[in-house]
Structure 1
């Protein structure tokens, strides 16, 4: 899905954070939002993901203007098309790995529902095979990143929004998650990442300097 921002401006607490920002994020590619701390990388990411409204400008998804989407329309976009990997990982700590991937559970709350074969496939792809019954709280930081990505792969998201994914990871986990993000983009999805990590930046196809 092509994600575009046209002449975006945002002020928070009366302070301009984005001013006239224009960006185009192509499917099948990783776009890095780069710049010094405080330049508005995360704000731009949240605007493109419809998590934060803009004061001026337009946001387009697949050529469609979604700037004024209603709450329900935004929820449908998040449910049907988007996946997020934010700094808090966006996972449910006291739920199982399997539940965090499929987000489905029986009425009795005892059995995770969803496509079990696909669940096992994505856990293997992300190096979490055999961990499906564990509580997400037991995972390391790198494993939680991979769990969030497993959810995105499972739902076949067309666009992935990522905020500083490698900030707290060791070298081995950093390389692993960067490789997984690259593979996700190669499947045809749009990957947008706010980062200051040079290794992550080097892996991206397009660099957009925020505020330039």
Structure 2
């Protein structure tokens, strides 16, 4: 990861608001994120951090306002456009790891058995501290190791945008620091890294913080 990867991206929120089942989750959020930004979405429990993350990932629709990606209004995108965006540019690191436990570590990174033994996968496993474990079943991994699999997927993909939902939740201090360092390196290599988190240590490493507590009404 010594070279820049992904393509240059900009995400712009213009006064976005979300209402779910008649309840206003947040309103009038305006901000801009660019390649190299590490962005923390913060706030008290239930304030809408994950909802905003999903909006930025085009998973959750917004009620009003607009989300522009490289100047294009995503409200005009159809399912094919969104699928293309995820295929080419974005990846999601899940709080519950998103691991297929009865498959190998290498397969969980590539999701393609024909690529699971490639040199690139071995190099990435070394990078995330899982070298030599490519043939092990993912079920034997610890929580921190499973979280590193999600980051390894982003590195293999050269993802331009990385979305992560509570990526350090329930990790011990050692794995927490490994995950934070890997996410920082992804940002330094050109990705926009967007994190829904309540981890103050992780927030302190971000160059941009968007607090949802100020946008509840």
TM-score scaled by length of structure 1: 0.93
Deviations, residues 122-163 of structure 1 (Å, cap 9, x unaligned):
111101111111122221110011000000000100000011
Question: Is the CA contact 1:94–1:136 (under 8 Å) kept in the aligned structure 2?
Answer: yes
**Structure 1 position 95 matched with structure 2 position 97:** no
The CA RMSD measured in Å over matched residues stands at 1.3
Pairwise CA distance, 1:114: 5.9
Structure 1 residues 211 and 126 mapped into 2: Cα distance closer, same or farther (>3 Å)?
A: same
**CA positional deviation for 1:68:** 3.0
Partner in structure 2 of residue 22 of structure 1: 30
The residue that corresponds to 2:136 in the other structure is 134
**Alignment of structure 1 residues 1-212 onto 2, 5 Å:** 1-105=9-113, 112-113=114-115, 116-212=118-214
Q: Is the 8 A contact 1:84 1:90 kept in 2?
A: no
My pick for the range that moved more, 16-25 or 146-155, is 16-25
CA apart distance, 1:115: 7.4
Regions of 4+ moved over 3 Å: none
Structure 1 unmatched runs, 5+: 106-111
- TM-aligned CA distance change 1:211 to 1:6, over 3 Å: farther
Structure 2: distance between partners of 1:24 and 1:166: 24
- For structure 2, the residue ranges without an aligned partner over 5 or more in a row are 1-8
Which digits, 9 at most, give the CA deviation of each residue in 1:35-59, with x for residues without a partner? 1111111110000011111111111
Structure 2 counterpart of 1:109 = none
